[in-house]
Amino acid sequence: MDVIRRNTDYALRLVIGLVGSYGRGPLSAKALAYTADISFSMTSKLLQKLVSAKLAKSTMGKAGGFELVKLPSEISLYDVILVFQGQVCLNQCIANPRSCPKSPKCLVSKKLAGLQSYIEKYLKDITLDELLK
């Protein structure tokens, strides 16, 4: 089981490129694809999702490209993950307790819920500027 899906991993690579160029103007999708070692078509799709989620913006033209819309310190790793795969969830019973008839009394789900909370807090506490440190 992958907690972080492949597309999310690719998106995080692209975000690292955007963080590294923050404040220096937009980066082309081609340059980001090359640096992140991702196909241009996949890069374009992922960047458009970042734009739709209002984490990045695109500028057209010869000097155009993509850049973050907020300070890297204002965007968490969790924010990026949510865009590409939704909530990281350990088990269906955590995401939807009503899906399991044993949920109210299940000792395992109580422990998993604690781990789920820890993972979410951990990801929310990591801001994009910390990725390059």
pLDDT of residue 119: 93
DSSP of the chain, one letter per residue?
Answer: --SS-HHHHHHHHHHHHHHHTTTS--B-HHHHHHHHT--HHHHHHHHHHHHHTTSEEEE-STT-EEEESS-GGG-BHHHHHHHHH-S--S-HHHH-GGG-TTTTT-HHHHHHHHHHHHHHHHHHH-BGGGGG-
21: pLDDT strictly greater than 80: yes
Q: With 0.85 as the threshold, say if the pTM is over it.
A: yes
pLDDT of residue 96: 77
What's the CATH code, domain 6-132? 1.10.10.10
pLDDT bucket at 68, cuts 50 / 70 / 90: very high
What mean pLDDT is predicted for residues 65-91?
93
Domain ranges (residues) in the chain: 6-132
pLDDT bucket at 1, cuts 50 / 70 / 90: low
Q: Does 56 or 115 have the greater pLDDT score? A: 56
